Amino acid sequence: MENVIIIGTGCAGLTAAIYTARASLAPLALEGRMPGGQLTTTTAVENFPGFPEGIDGPELIMRMKKQAENFGAKFRYGVVEEFRPGDPHRVKVDGEWVETKVLIVASGASPRYIGLEGESALIGHGLTSCATCDGAFYRNVPVCVVGGGDSACEEAGFLTRFASKVYLIHRRDTLRASKIMADRAVANPKIEPVWNSLVTAYITDAAGEVAGVRLRDKVTGAERDLEVKCVFVAIGHEPNTAAFRGILETSDDGYLIQKSGTATNIPGVFAAGDVADHVYRQAITAAGQGCAAAIEAERWLAASE
């Protein structure tokens, strides 16, 4: 039986692994469908403290993993299919049941994309879901944001610092965003809303980078091409909670609820990072929660012995 199983190896999971390993708990970290998490899909990370020249997302993750391994963390590839709480807790990993005293769920969230053909190959080549990560690469060129919620409005506003123009492409003629965010976006002279429009294809240049989008007007049915150098998709995130549904409490939009600190509704089960956080969604906040979950897990183990 394991002392601690950590589900997920993004910033939250790896930080939890560093702390629990350093506390001599020899944690087992399970690397799921996207080992390393969302940072592995970014290039330069310029806002993680301690790296004034920036650091590549995959490099940062690799260093965190090495740091955890140095203290004795174990890693195993595998997707958690089922969870049975108890004493011990049991998780089914690729068909095999594994037991643990404590579980830290750091399975992250996956940004939603539109679902167009060839989409996944364009991520990092002018298609992204993170303005904070990639906005600064698109200075003095036109870009677009897809979506009509708070995220889309916030990202559009942020991108006006860099881009020459930001098209806000929404499938309806009213924004879903809160009034203050919507008003601010519409009033911004650098943001041009494109109402009732669906992106039906990405247009690429000879180098395979995004050069524009094809739009269909939902009202008139008319199609047109719009020249943009980057498409920021902001149509929501899906927390990765499939194995825990009906067992761990979630908010209406599916994020794990932290009852106190990082503790969930099940004793000995903690949640950290984007699987529980729909507000900040930053590498550093996920790492902070991973640290908190590890400390709380350690204290919980000590108290239950």
Of 54, 72, 236, 261, which lies in the binding site for ligand NAP, with binding defined by CB under 6 A?
236
Span of 59-67, 70-78, 144-152, 254-262 interacting with ligand NAP by CB under 6 A:
144-152
Measured from the CB atom, the residue of 69 and 238 that comes closer to ligand NAP is 238
- Positions marked catalytic: 130, 133-134
Q: What angle do CA 79, 288, 271 make, to 5 degrees?
A: 40
Name the minimum Å distance from CB 171 to ligand NAP: 5
Q: Is 114 in the site for ligand NAP (CB under 6 A)?
A: yes
Distance of CA 69 to the CA centre of its chain: 24
Nearer to ligand NAP, 29 or 152 (CB): 152
Residues 6+ apart with CB under 8 A from 137: 43, 230
Q: Output 87 or 252, the one with its CB closest to ligand NAP.
A: 252
CB of 233 to ligand NAP, least distance (A): 8
Which has the closest alpha carbon to 166: 112, 218, 230, 223? 230
Q: Which two tokens stand for residue 193?
A: 């809303």
Rule CB under 6 A: say whether 151 interacts with ligand NAP. Answer: yes
Alpha-carbon span 299 to 270, nearest angstrom: 12
Backbone φ and ψ of 165, nearest 5°: -155, 145
| DSSP 8-state class, residue 209 | -
3-state class (DSSP) for residue 279:
coil
Of residues 148, 212, 268, 273, which one binds ligand NAP by CB under 6 A? 148
Site track 276-305 with ligand NAP (rule: CB under 6 A), x = hit: --x---------------------------
Residues contacting 58, CB < 8 A, separation 6+: 36, 39, 40
Residues 55-84 binding ligand NAP (CB under 6 A) are none
Number of residues interacting with ligand NAP: please give it, by CB under 6 A.
16
Nearer to ligand NAP, 94 or 225 (CB): 225
Site string for ligand NAP, 166-185 (x = CB under 6 A): -----xx---x---------
The token duo for 94 is 């690729």
CA quadruple 150, 126, 139, 195: dihedral sign: negative
Please say whether the beta carbons of 16 and 291 come within 8 A.
yes
Q: What residues line the site for ligand NAP (CB under 6 A)?
A: 114, 146-152, 154, 171-172, 176, 234-236, 278
